[in-house]
């Protein structure tokens, strides 16, 4: 069976910021029924009136054996430029969250391919509570100054594969949030944007662990970060981020190619009373090369000591006049093979 997705959902104004799981449960409207959805050719345009949306625009939910395919160059256009000035999330914790363009919620055995998404109001694509998901040949774009336009945000999923895609946004190309297990990402070109992040983690009560992450063969061009793990201080509950491999990365004019930041806070006023409650262990960065636009190309800033951090065959060169540097706090890293910049003392 086939069905074309054409209309925006009508609903109440957005809900307060918080755990994506809680917000999605608060407004569950979805496309169910047919298991094979063909997005129409041409441009599918969202309304610009924010009062017409809840948490998302197009939602696929509670389906087993779902396939979503774009046709003949079809584009999902969130028309986000009209909404970006209303997004206060980069500066306020209690911000009102704008709608995500496409949400996949509580699906089993899903295939998504040949989708193009531009100018989302908030996230382009969000994956929440899915099991066994395969995504490929995605084209995602928004200007580098567009706030919170993450290409793909992943939260509370098991068994996700993302491959052979190009993502350039104003935020993370791919963000792996809390409660994820067995995530594989390969052959993705990222830029512009903030890079690829695990996190932020440790902000809310009851967050799930993030384990078994494998990211390979990515290219980052002109991004703020390359691969990054970021956690909040003052975490209300404890969680684990472990068993991650980032390998075969090319960095082209990236500010900070490798970063672990357990003091993450994007706001102006941040408390520094307690270290992060997220334990970081068994993290490996392997075969990472390229150029940085800041002298510190490797930043490992842990709260409590990170355990089992390994850097193998790293070759990063600052493209300015000074030398390339590493900076570490409580990292206790192990170094294997070629290392440039030199390991932290």
Alpha carbons 4 and 286: distance in angstroms, whole number: 43
CA 179 to chain centre: 13
- If phi over 0 gives left and psi between -120 and 50 gives alpha, with beta otherwise, what is residue 328? beta
Residues 99, 126 contacting (CB under 8 angstroms)? no
CA 268/CA 181 separation, integer angstroms:
32
**CA–CA distance, 293 with 322 (Å, rounded to integer):** 11
321 contacts: CB under 8 Å, gap ≥ 6: none
Backbone phi, then psi, for 343, in 5-degree steps?
-60, 155
31: phi then psi, degrees, rounded to nearest 5: -90, 110
Check whether the bond before 200 is cis (ω within 30° of 0). yes
SS3 category, 51: helix
SS3 label, residue 50: helix
Which among 129, 141, 153, 194 is annotated as catalytic? 194
- 194 carries an active-site annotation: yes
Give the C-alpha separation, 298 to 228, whole Å.
Answer: 10
Cis peptide leading into residue 280 (ω within 30°): no
| 3-class SS of residue 229 | strand
Enumerate the active-site residues: 194
């Amino acid at each position: 069976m086939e069905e074309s997705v054409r209309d925006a959902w009508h609903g109440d104004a957005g809900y307060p910021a918080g755990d994506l799981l809680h917000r999605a449960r608060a407004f569950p409207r979805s496309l169910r029924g047919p298991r094979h959805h063909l997005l129409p050719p041409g441009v599918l345009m969202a309304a610009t009136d924010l009062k017409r949306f809840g948490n998302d625009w197009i939602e696929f939910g509670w389906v087993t054996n779902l396939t979503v395919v774009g046709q003949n160059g079809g584009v999902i256009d969130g028309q986000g430029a009209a909404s970006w000035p209303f997004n206060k999330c980069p500066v306020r914790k209690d911000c009102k969250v704008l709608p995500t363009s496409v949400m996949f919620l509580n699906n089993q055995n899903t295939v998504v391919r040949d989708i193009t998404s531009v100018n989302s109001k908030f996230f382009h694509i969000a994956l929440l509570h899915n099991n066994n998901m395969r995504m490929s040949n995605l084209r995602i774009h928004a200007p580098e100054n567009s706030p919170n336009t993450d290409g793909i945000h992943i939260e509370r999923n098991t068994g996700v594969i993302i491959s052979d895609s190009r993502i350039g946004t104003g935020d993370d190309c791919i963000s792996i949030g809390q409660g994820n297990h067995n995530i594989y990402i390969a052959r993705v070109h990222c830029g512009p944007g903030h890079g690829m992040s695990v996190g932020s983690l440790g902000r809310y009560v009851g967050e799930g662990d993030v384990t078994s992450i494998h990211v390979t063969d990515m290219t980052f061009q002109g991004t703020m970060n390359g691969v990054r793990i970021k956690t909040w201080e003052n975490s209300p509950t404890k969680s684990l981020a472990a068993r991650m491999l980032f390998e075969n990365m090319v960095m082209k004019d990236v500010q900070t190619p490798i970063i672990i930041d357990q003091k993450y806070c994007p706001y102006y006023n941040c408390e520094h009373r307690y270290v992060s409650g997220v334990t970081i262990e068994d993290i490996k960065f392997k075969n990472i090369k390229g150029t940085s636009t800041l002298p510190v190309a490797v930043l490992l800033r842990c709260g409590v000591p990170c355990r089992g951090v390994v850097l193998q065959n790293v070759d990063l060169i600052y493209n300015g006049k000074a030398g390339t540097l590493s900076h570490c706090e409580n990292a206790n890293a192990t170094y294997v093979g070629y290392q440039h910049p030199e390991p932290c003392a």
